[in-house]
Amino acid sequence: MVSTVWQNPVLLIVVPLGLAFFTPIIGLIRKELVKYIPILGMLFNLTLSLFLLPKVLDNPIIVSLSGWKPPFAINLFVGPVGILFSILISLVGLLTAIYGINYIKKGAVEKYHMLFLLLLTGATGIVLTGDIFNLFVFFEILCISSYALVAYNQDKNGIEAATKYLIQGSLGSAFILLGIGFLYGLFGTLNMADIARNITTVDSPALFIAMALFITGFGVEAAIFPLNAWLPDAHSSAPSTISAILSGIAIHIGIYAIFRVLYTLFGFNSIFTVLAVIGIVTLLIGEMSAFRQENIKRVLAYSSMGQMGLIIFALSIGTVDGISGGLFQIITHTLSKSLLFLCVGYMVYSTNSMELSSLNGLGKRMPLISLLFTIGVFSLIGLPPFIGFPSKLSIILAGLKTGETLFLILIVLMLLATVIEGVYFFRIIQILYFKEPDKEERFKTPFTLLFPVIILGLLIVAIGIYPGLLQEILDRSAEIFWDKLSYIKIVFGG
Amino acid sequence: MTLQLILLIGFCGAIITYFAGKILPVLREIFAVAISLLLVGMIVYAYGRYSQEIAQFGFLNFKIVFTLNRLSWLFAIIISSLSALSIIFSLSYMKGKERQDFFYMMMLFVSTSMLGIVFSGTFLQLFIFWEIMSWSTFLLISYSKGKAVKAGLKYITMSIIGSMAMLVAVISLYLKFGTLEISVISQNIDIASLRYLSCIFGLLFLGFGVKAAVVPLHTWLPDAHSEAPSPFSAILSGILIKMGIYGFILMMYMVVGIKIFMTLGVGWMKFHYVFAWLGVISILIPSFIAILQNDAKRLLAWSSVGQIGYIIVGISMGTGLGFLGGTFHIFSHAVFKGLLFLTIASVEYRTRTRDLDQLGGLIKKMPITFLGGLIGVMGLIGIPLTNGFISKWLIYKSLFESNRMFLLLFSLIGTWAAILYGYKILHNVFLGQLPEKYRNMKREPVFMQIPIIILSLTVILSGIFPGIILKLINNIAFSFGLESLNVNMWGVVSETGTLNIRNIFFGILAAIALVSIIFYSAKRSWKVSQDDNYAAGAFVPVEKYNYTVEFYAPLYKMIRKYLKDVIDIFYCWIAGLVDALCNGIRKIYTGDIGTYVGYILFFLAFLIIIYLRG
Amino acid sequence: MDFLYHNIHFIGAFGLMFIGLYMIAVKKNLIKKIIGLGFVETGINLFLIIIGYIKNGTAPIFSKAGLDPARMVDPVPQALVLTAIVINVAILALALGLAIRLYGHYKTLNVEKIRGLKW
Amino acid sequence: MKKIISFVLLVIIFIGIYFAVSQIPYGKDKMSVSKHYLNNGVKENGASNIVTSVVLNYRGFDTLGELTILFIGAIGLGVVLFGFETKGKDIKSPSLILNAGSTFLFPFILLFGIYIFIHGHLSPGGGFQGGAVIASGFLISYLGYPKKRISEKGIHIVESLGGTLFILIGLLGLLLGGYFLSNILPKGTVNTLVSGGIIPLLYVLIGIKVGAELAGIIYKLME
């Protein structure tokens, strides 16, 4: 009994949560120790998730809480997708936490680390839970902690962005809660598998309205156009570690939530077409808005928006290939965008300015960071041999495989957006390398700042050269993600 | 394993070179040269060992296949040797410049990725290496900063557009044939309809055409070639643009097969027909634009567009002779254009300028460079006993035999232009009066002399004995199912005497002998120093007496107004439009939270309306 | 009239929501927007409770023997509302804190003037 | 203009919602899962208040999340208002009545709050409600003595301990019962104070924690 307790996936949520709760007490003992708590928590999560991954690939694990069988108690659905996300969250979280040791110096440092850990916990909870209301609760954990963290710097922009984010985000959450109310009113249960089992018995506008509410609500976090106005503000104003987490994880969690709900609960086929179009529109708008930005973090934020559109498009293709491509793109974007934000964080920290012109000739002043930045950018554009290429390729492949004219048009538009993306990113590369620097002196980078970025860069290149590393896991995950019947079957134990 | 080993050595060597440079600059140079020579050696060794290798690991679900056949060997040897020579040249050229580690790394990277392209046995690899080539080239083009930045952006923009089109084509091939292996696709090409193939060609035309700089897609080239570091310009002009041609040859002859290709097209707009005309336009207009240029490298860049036109005309004929000429021109253009760029580079290295209005009279100062330039220009113009003559002759001949008189005429007009600008560059740089400031100039360094000498010898030798390469090309043509021609050491033998360098060789020797006899026996002139500038007893200041400025002035007046690069202007207009559009789009994020809330409500309402209506 | 009588609960809940949403969308004062947020949440909570209601039901507490489980109202929405209220408290507290800070920076709460971040 | 557009959009949304709501019968029994809770809740958990049973046991994980959110709210406020100075405003001392009343009322309010959360499993009420009452006690004491501060450190320790113990109890359940938050203690007799297994224990923790957090929030916002 005791031996298997340590493998229980619930620990993925509970341990970081407990650590976060315990932080103030540790902070009383020694202030410096607090910095290492997120690292501890994420290290634990990473180990456990990696350990669980091979198991859940065969059979997803169902963990019921409080000792009652689903649907009577909340249950966790620990499938490959969940574990995949959990690995991503803990990996990026770990690296960002290491980065944060030296990066976060002023402000309420202790509280920052607590919120940081809680944000990641919320994200992990969302991807693991199998209960719609529980999902909402974790979603709120994620959202509220990110509102607070965006405002962490307490400067004008940060506060303003956080306020706007808060109003839009909580409006979204309100819609989700309303949607949950409708679902409960129709089915009298909150367990997703249970709802999914009964969903065919009801055919009513309430169902559709609930779905619309869910899409809108989660869409705010997932940055679907036109719900994404908070994104550029928040991502550009937050401390860079938080931008990395928000861009690398939080928005993907929103997407996960949308598609978990859509795939498992609803599954209106017509809405997928609409979402695919919306995804491409989001992509185009994001990339086009990024085109003329002069603020480096805003460029990255808008590009995140674009990438979200791409992922939404991939996931709404509605085939296993598409989902696999979408998941791949999520990994790409997580790795690349966190890499970019961490790099930029250091650049901004050193040059004290977010204007593109302040980056002139940084390639000479901080060669390694610039090199890694370049890798991240190339990967986002989708150039081989970086991770972005196989992911984009599989999306296009999946889209064209459907053979529908609509998808063909959308893919052409997507490629157009890639061109725009390429141009503005290449422009930044040129600014880094081919403009004369204002000063000659080189920056010394502390190891804690460099280490996470290097790891991310290596991952990007390694997976880019040999994507077979992920391929099977992704395909299997996509299958399980998509398959509603097996979800129900697994939850109710055959 | 050899092919993979070659690529591995190339890529790893590039990275090692970079880190070696961090330790010791000399180490880096040794590494760079050694690796590039090693690549040449390995490719020479691979001659005749044509094979197919299936890689151990795939990419996603695709098989990775490396192939070596005659065509790819030909390209590989050109790529590897020209880049080796460029790297040797850079040893002197790059001395004292910043960020050399990066430069050498990228040089190796570009050439290895081009090797990757020609070794690709599947379209996927082709695309991957293509993209690697694109971005590594981009990083080198902008190397010199300043104007180069804009040139790089222009290049990469067009390049991305091209590769996106290519990507769609590649994936659609995969969906059609279920595989991306080039050999398998070419066997099953029959299952694709002509219409489908035409679409594929249209897309690939964008992809390959941007790199090959065929006329409507050429606008990046003059900027990029002139702004890139000069040794790299040699690679750019010598081989990189040939990669596009390689793609065309691959598609036309190997995958689709020339018989089907000749029938492709919409209505009377046959693809090969359009293609040939585009080639001719590429010859005609850019050659005249080249005359107008005053920047030596820009002139050569425009001339590259023109020369690419010859190749395209040659290969789009679909006859054995045309293919022979076109492919031979790939080789000869690589050699003489590489030579010319290196020549200009060595001039630029010493004089710090490449403005044709300011140079002149360098013949005494850098004789070897002059010799290189002379031979290069001779090759460019196509004077007999240089390889340029062989290829152009063959191309004209094939046009003649295919009865394409208009094409022939325009190509010939293009050659006149080539003569004009060839002479212009030769004269303005080396002949005429030496400007005062270069009086104490040193000769070119030895590492610059070696590549120039080697390339000059190649131009001459392959001009006298074209058979060595023609035989190889003939075999390639034969394997593509074209008619096999009787090729010997001296040229192409047929009843009509298609090409026989032996006769020409001796004929020219005789002519030279004759001319020199007349010249020396009827000598009436005496030697005058260039500075003997007396005008009715008054001393003319030396600086002003420089007639290289406004060379061909009357001609300029005549043609300048017709020769605006309309296409470039059009593209810039579109770019400006996109820019304005993008700037407009971002205004939707007004910063007003009320509006944002309105967006959210709108989205929800939108979804509800969708439902209520349908 | 009959319609009103039967739907008065829903009208109450959604009326609150409507007012709240309208406030968020239209009002210029940030505090009013935040109050609107509170309205929306309250409306939704009310809706949740209504969903769980059973006519003539009793509270789901077995405080004395002999209570019929079938006549009790649904306990789950009550639990949900409990959670929702707490969430709402957290959000509103944070929002007010941000508003205080924002006032410190801009010296105004008119959102049309708080537009440092745009485009 | 903006008003009209917003109004129209809202009308469309609410038309949609009207269609949806018309599908959900009012006042009818439509429970599926909660039937189980009502029928077996007492047996399974020993708590006579089913809502409590749901909140702390069946959906205990939600409650953990909820606690976390409140915790985040408190810390988040701390982050946002970190280093915020009250601009040396002179706080008027309150009237004598308020002063004396708050002193008098404070212990009673505290006691009432504690009563509420201790009896959470038996009667309406519970940790959150009790916590809120306690916080209101602190509010009154603040109104009475605006210059007096309760120690922020103390609040932190209390809320931190509350949360940590909650999780420890849950983990104990995982260790002994095989499930996180499983009810490992004996159920006891229904309707007595010591019944319901871990539920009262948890509610006490929640009560203390919520009280501390709300008090913290109130103090932060008051400043």
pLDDT tens for residues B176-202?
A: 888 888 888 888 888 888 888 888 888
Contact check, Cβ <8 Å, D72/A204: no
> Where is pLDDT greater, at B196 or C6?
B196
- What is each CA distance from A198 to A203, A415, C89, in whole angstroms? 10, 41, 34
> How many angstroms separate the CA of residue B586 from the nearest CA in chain D?
20
Interchain CB distance below 8 Å, A166 and C98: yes
What is the distance between the alpha carbons of residues B58 and B64, in angstroms, rounded to a whole number? 5
pLDDT at B535 over 70: no
Separation of alpha carbons A19 and A24, rounded Å:
10
Instruction: Give mean pLDDT, residues A159-170.
Output: 90
Looking at the domain assignment, is residue B110 inside a domain?
A: no
Whether residue A206 lies within 8 A of chain D, CB to CB, comes out as: yes
Residues of A in contact with C100 (CB under 8 A): none
Q: How many domains does chain D have?
A: 1
> Domain span at residue B337?
273-485+541-564
Quote the CA–CA distance of A344 and A373 in Å, as a whole number: 8
pLDDT at residue B539 is higher than 60: no
Q: What pLDDT does D157 receive?
A: 83
The answer as to whether B400 is a domain residue is yes
User: Given a contact as 3+ CB pairs under 8 Å, which chains touch A?
Assistant: B, C, D
A385 or B496, which is more confident: A385
Q: Do B608 and D13 touch (CB under 8 A)?
A: yes
Instruction: For residue D199, tell me if it sits in a domain.
Output: yes
What pLDDT, in 10s, does the model give residues B462-479?
Answer: 888 888 888 888 888 888
Residues B579 and B448 in one domain: no
What per-residue confidence (pLDDT) applies to A35? 86
The answer to the question of residue D148 being in a domain is: yes
Flag if A160 and C102 touch (Cβ within 8 Å): yes
Q: Average pLDDT of chain B? A: 84
CA distance A247 to A243: 6
Q: Tell me, what's the pLDDT at A279? A: 92
State whether the Cα torsion B286-B290-B292-B297 is positive or negative: positive
Q: Do D33 and A71 touch (CB under 8 A)?
A: yes
For residue B50, the SS3 value is: coil
In this prediction, residue D91 has a pLDDT band, given cuts at 50, 70 and 90, of: low
pLDDT at residue B95 in the model = 81
CB distance from A220 to chain B under 8 Å?
A: yes
> By CB neighbour count within 10 A (0-12 exposed, 13-18 middle, 19+ buried), where does A139 fall?
buried
Q: Please give the average per-residue pLDDT across B436-445, as a whole number.
A: 76
pLDDT band at B544 (very low <50, low <70, confident <90, very high): very low
Size of interface A-C (CB pairs under 8 A): 91
pLDDT, tens digit, 9 for 90 and up, residues B148-169: 888 888 899 999 999 899 998 8
Please name the member of D5, D6, D16 whose beta carbon is closest to the beta carbon of B608.
D16
How do residues B320-373 score in pLDDT, each as one tens digit?
A: 888 888 888 999 999 989 999 888 888 888 888 888 777 777 777 888 888 888
Name the β-bridge partners of B492.
Answer: B487
Q: Specify if B342 maps to a domain.
A: yes
User: How many Å lie between the alpha carbon of D83 and the closest alpha carbon of chain C?
Assistant: 11
In a domain, D34, yes or no: no
Quote the DSSP letter at residue B409: H
Distance CA A487, CA A494 (A): 10
Residue B164 within any structural domain of the chain:
no
Per the domain annotation, does D68 fall within a domain? yes
CB A162 within 8 A of CB A199: no
Mean pLDDT of B269-274: 81
CB contact under 8 A, D37 and C75: yes
Please list, in sequence order, all residues whose beta carbon lies within 8 angstroms of the beta carbon of residue B393, skipping any fewer than 6 positions away: B325, B382, B499
Contact status of D1 with chain C (Cβ, < 8 Å) = no
pLDDT confidence bin for B532, thresholds 50/70/90 = low
In a domain, B305, yes or no: yes
Distance of alpha carbon C20 from alpha carbon C57, whole angstroms: 30
ipTM above 0.90, yes or no: yes
Q: D11, D12, D15, D80: which to substitute to probe chain C, counting the most C Cβ within 10 Å?
A: D80
Burial code of A334-356, b = ≥16 C-beta within 10 A, e = fewer? bbbbbbbbbbbbbbbebbeebeb
Do the domain assignments include residue B94? no
* Banded model confidence at residue D217, pLDDT cuts 50, 70, 90: confident
Residue A144: pLDDT over 70: yes
Residue A87: predicted pLDDT: 92
Higher pLDDT among residues B189 and B439, named by residue: B189
Predicted local confidence at residue A334, as pLDDT: 92
Test mutation, A401, A415, A425, chain B, max B CBs within 10 A: A415
Judged by DSSP in three states, B486 sits in: strand
Q: How confident is the model at residue A95 (pLDDT cuts 50, 70, 90)?
A: very high
C54 pLDDT above the threshold of 80: no
Q: How far is CA B476 from CA A110, B81, B473, in A?
A: 72, 20, 5
- Mean pLDDT (whole number) for A345-355: 84
Q: Specify if D29 maps to a domain.
A: no
Please, are residues B65 and B53 in contact by the beta-carbon 8 Å criterion? Answer: yes
Residues near B371 by Cβ (< 8 Å), separated by ≥ 6?
Answer: B452, B456
pLDDT at B496: 59
Residue ranges of C 23-52 with Cβ closer than 8 A to chain B: 24-28, 33
Residues making up chain A, counted from first to last: 494
Residue B99 to residue A364, Cβ atoms within 8 A: yes
Grade residue D89 by pLDDT with cuts at 50, 70 and 90. low
* Share above pLDDT 90 across residues of chain C, in percent, rounded to a whole number: 8
Helices (H), chain D: 2-21, 33-45, 50-53, 60-80, 96-118, 127-144, 152-177, 199-222
Would you state the pLDDT for residue B57? Answer: 76
pLDDT band at C86 (very low <50, low <70, confident <90, very high): confident
What is the average pLDDT across A40-54? 90
Please state the rounded mean pLDDT for residues C82-107. Answer: 87
Residue A390: asked if its preceding bond is cis (omega within 30°), the reply is: no
Q: Which residues of C touch D210 (CB under 8 A)?
A: 86
Mutate one of C49, C53, C98 to test the A interface: name it (highest A CB count within 10 A).
C98
D16 at the C interface (CB within 8 A)?
Answer: no
Q: CATH number of the domain at C2-55+70-106, please? A: 1.10.287
Task: Pick B604's closest partner by Cβ from A175, A274, A403.
Answer: A175
Listed ranges A1-15, B344-358, B578-592; the one with the highest mean pLDDT: B578-592
Look up the domain containing D102 and give its range: 49-81+92-222
Query: Are B553 and B571 members of one domain?
Result: no
| Average pLDDT of the segment spanning A101-120 | 86
Binary contact (B164, A419; C-beta < 8 A): yes
Residue B66: which H helix or E strand, with range?
strand B65-68
Chains that touch C (3 or more CB pairs under 8 A): A, B, D
Long-range contacts for B218-222 (Cβ within 8 Å, ≥24 apart)? B218/B282, B218/B286, B218/B305, B218/B567, B219/B154, B219/B158, B219/B565, B219/B567, B219/B568, B219/B571, B220/B151, B220/B154, B220/B155, B220/B157, B220/B158, B220/B159, B221/B301, B221/B304, B221/B305, B222/B298, B222/B301, B222/B302, B222/B305
Task: State residue A93's pLDDT score.
Answer: 92
Q: Look at chain B and report how many structural domains it folds into.
A: 2
Question: Which residues does chain C have within 8 Å of residue D77's beta carbon, measured at their own beta carbons?
Answer: 93-94, 97
The answer on pLDDT for A1 being more than 60 is no
What pLDDT does B400 receive?
Answer: 84
